[in-house]
């Protein structure tokens, strides 16, 4: 299973607008991805409610994971989005 540990770059964490940006970006990858706090229960990263329930704050670490084809590239792009607090998914390399 591929995974990336990422520190959240949005000051407000994964709440409201950043959560919506992240969920949209996950859906755009077409890859099933989970997100969790280290040692926590993973939730579907494409679920806004699951993401909000995670309660991830700015500066906290989260773990993005997937075992699907294309996971490495998708996780790299999502990790960049989260760590840099971007407003949209970075272009594919």
Question: What residues are annotated to the active site?
Answer: 15
Asked if 25 and 66 touch (Cβ cutoff 8 Å), the reply is no
| Residue whose tokens read 């594919």 | 92
Return the sign of the alpha-carbon dihedral for residues 71, 77, 15, 6. Answer: positive
Find the distance separating the first CA and the last CA of the chain, reported in whole Å: 21
* Spatial separation of the C-alpha atoms in residues 15 and 65, rounded to whole Å: 20
């Amino acid at each position: 299973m591929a995974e990336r540990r990422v520190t959240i770059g949005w000051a407000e964490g994964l709440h409201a607008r950043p959560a919506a940006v992240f969920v949209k970006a996950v859906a755009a990858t077409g890859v099933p991805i989970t997100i969790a706090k280290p040692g926590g229960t993973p939730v579907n990263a494409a679920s806004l409610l699951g993401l909000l329930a995670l309660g991830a704050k700015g500066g906290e670490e989260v773990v993005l994971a997937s075992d699907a084809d294309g996971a490495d590239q998708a996780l790299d792009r999502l990790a960049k989005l989260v760590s840099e607090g971007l407003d949209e998914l970075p272009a594919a390399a």
